[in-house]
Amino acid sequence: AQSVTQLDSHVSVSEGTPVLLRCNYSSSYSPSLFWYVQHPNKGLQLLLKYTSAATLVKGINGFEAEFKKSETSFHLTKPSAHMSDAAEYFCVVTPTYSSASKIIFGSGTRLSIRP
Amino acid sequence: GAVVSQHPSWVICKSGTSVKIECRSLDFQATTMFWYRQFPKQSLMLMATSNEGSKATYEQGVEKDKFLINHASLTLSTLTVTSAHPEDSSFYICSASVKGDNYGYTFGSGTRLTVV
Q: What is the pLDDT of residues B80-113, one digit of tens each?
A: 999 999 999 999 999 987 665 555 678 888 999 9
B7 shares contact with chain A (CB less than 8 Å)? no
Q: Does A29 touch chain B (CB under 8 A)?
A: no
Q: Dihedral of CA B80/B105/A64/A91: which sign?
A: positive
Q: Which residues of A touch B107 (CB under 8 A)?
A: 36, 43-46
Q: What is the pLDDT of residues B70-88, one digit of tens each?
A: 988 889 999 999 999 999 9
Instruction: Give B13's pLDDT tier (boundaries 50, 70, 90).
Output: very high
A89, A21 Cβ separation under 8 angstroms:
yes
3-state secondary structure of A62: helix
Query: How many angstroms separate the CA atoms of B92 and B95, rounded?
Result: 10
Which pairs count as long-range contacts for A22-26, CB under 8 Å and 24+ apart, including other chains?
Answer: A22/A73, A22/A75, A22/A76, A22/A109, A23/A65, A23/A73, A23/A74, A23/A75, A23/A76, A23/A91, A23/A106, A24/A71, A24/A72, A24/A73, A24/A74, A25/A72, A25/A73, A25/A74, A25/A91, A25/A93, A26/A1, A26/A2, A26/A72
Chain A closest CA to B94's CA: distance in Å?
9
Secondary structure class of B15 (helix, strand, coil): coil
Q: How many whole angstroms separate alpha carbon B46 and alpha carbon B61? A: 11
Q: B49–A100: do the CB atoms touch at under 8 Å?
A: yes
pLDDT tens digit sequence for A93-111: 887 655 556 678 899 999 9
Each residue's pLDDT tens digit, A27-54 = 877 788 999 999 887 788 889 988 777 8
Which of the four pLDDT bands, split at 50, 70 and 90, describes residue B31? confident
- Among A36, A43, A99, the residue with its CB nearest the CB of B99 is A99
How distant is the Cα of B105 from the closest Cα of chain A, in angstroms? 8
Q: How far is A57 from chain B (nearest CA, A)?
A: 14
On the question of pLDDT at B15 being above 70, the answer is: yes
